Amino acid sequence: QVWNPSGKYRVISTKPMPGTRWIRLLTDQDCRVEICTEKKTILSVEDILALLGDKCDGVIGQLTEDWGEVLFSALRRAGGTAFSNMAVGYNNVDVNAAAKYGVAVGNTPGVLTETTAELAASLSLAASRRIVEADQFMRAGLYDGWLPHLFVGNLLKGQTVGVIGAGRIGSAYARMMIEGFKMNLIYYDLYQATRLEKFVTAYGQFLKASGEQPVTWKRAATMEDVLREADVISLHPVLDKTTYHLINKDRLSIMKKDAILVNCSRGPVIDEAALVEHLKVNPMFRVGLDVFEDEPHMKPGLAEMKNAIVVPHIASASKWTREGMATLAALNVLGKIKGYPVWSDPNR
Ligand code: DGY
């Protein structure tokens, strides 16, 4: 699909993206926009090499693609200097290789913070109240009347929410769980989440003044403290070699037997095979997963686990957010091509 065929700058989007604002932004600034409409979901390096051809000024790519040495050198040979991932995470992008070939890299932070936090909150609620299991039970025609012990779950109020990685998304999630469900907070991050701490303190004072039990917060000295103490734990670290298999067999074993673990960050942060074993022997332990170690595949056994809720990497999938991500990605590429500031450049 080609927009503004006579445009001076050739910009490729490796996937159709929501909305039209991003296309207009580029075509209004003399770009010819080419959108790859290839049916297969994940494009290989070879597929993308074929798209680049011998003239390409900039590319908007996706988190499923492997942007490394081969693609950045090819983009540079085609005269390109701009690349944006349509994602906040850029573990699929070798930023050093991009820098080596003089290609600016952008990502799309900010617009997906609340949407992603809302999915983490949805998974936390769905897991604590066993909503998916209960839905399947109804559809299977198994409901034959109210029972005192049918699908009994946990009350979040007064329990402790644990956040590992209290950056933009982790903090937004923590606020939702604290304000929405009056949970106490324990978090672990290399940096102090000062704004989040101020919020919990002020909210705790407000509850106290209203005659309610105040909420509390604690910055954990170690990640293990969060795993031991929290009832619901949500993972929000970036994926790099320090966070690969952050949640492994040993760390799972120190969590409460009926804890809830949510992951909307990146799959390899959890050792998924160890998680499947843990779910098998701890039926009260529940997980809500948006991401998987070998995405799009799940490790054997996970799909059969009733105590797991699995969704296909949809944390940022709200219309407003996806259109915003597309727009930011276009701005990133346009910025570099036209000499404006690149919206967000991890190499900066
Ligand atoms: C991101 O932007 O990194 C998300 O995973 C996309 O949903």
Domains in the chain: boundaries: 2-111+318-338, 113-310
Same fold, 2-111+318-338 and 113-310: yes
Cα gap 92→253, rounded to integer Å: 30
With a 6 Å cutoff on the Cβ, whether 87 touches ligand 1 is yes
104 φ/ψ angles, rounded to the nearest 5 degrees: -80, 140
Residues annotated as part of the active site: 266, 295, 313
The topology (CATH level 3) of 2-111+318-338 is Rossmann fold (3.40.50)
Q: How far is the CA of 313 from the centre of ligand 1 (A)?
A: 8
With a 6 Å cutoff on the Cβ, whether 86 touches ligand 1 is no
**pLDDT at residue 346 in the model:** 56
Q: For 307-346, what is each residue's pLDDT tens digit? A: 999 999 999 999 999 999 999 999 999 999 998 866 665 5
Give CA separation, 301 vs 140, 273, 293, in Å.
Answer: 21, 9, 14
The percent of residues above 70 in pLDDT, for the chain, comes to 98
Does the structure show a pLDDT above 80 at 347? no
Mean pLDDT for all residues in the chain = 96
CATH of domain 113-310: 3.40.50.720
Count Cα atoms within 13 angstroms, Cβ side, for 4.
17
Give CA separation, 146 vs 140, 142, 180, in Å.
Answer: 16, 11, 28
Cα gap 23→27, rounded to integer Å: 6
With a 6 Å cutoff on the Cβ, whether 112 touches ligand 1 is yes
Q: For 105-149, what is each residue's pLDDT tens digit? A: 999 999 999 999 999 999 999 999 999 999 999 999 999 999 999
Q: How far is the CA of 236 from the centre of ligand 1 (A)?
A: 11
The percent of residues above 90 in pLDDT, for the chain, comes to 97
Does the structure show a pLDDT above 60 at 348? no
Q: For 32-88, what is each residue's pLDDT tens digit? A: 999 999 999 999 999 999 999 999 999 999 999 999 999 999 999 999 999 999 999
**pLDDT at residue 343 in the model:** 61
**pLDDT at residue 341 in the model:** 67
Q: Whose CA is nearest to atom 1 of ligand 1?
A: 87
With a 6 Å cutoff on the Cβ, whether 26 touches ligand 1 is no
Say what the ipTM of the complex is: 0.95
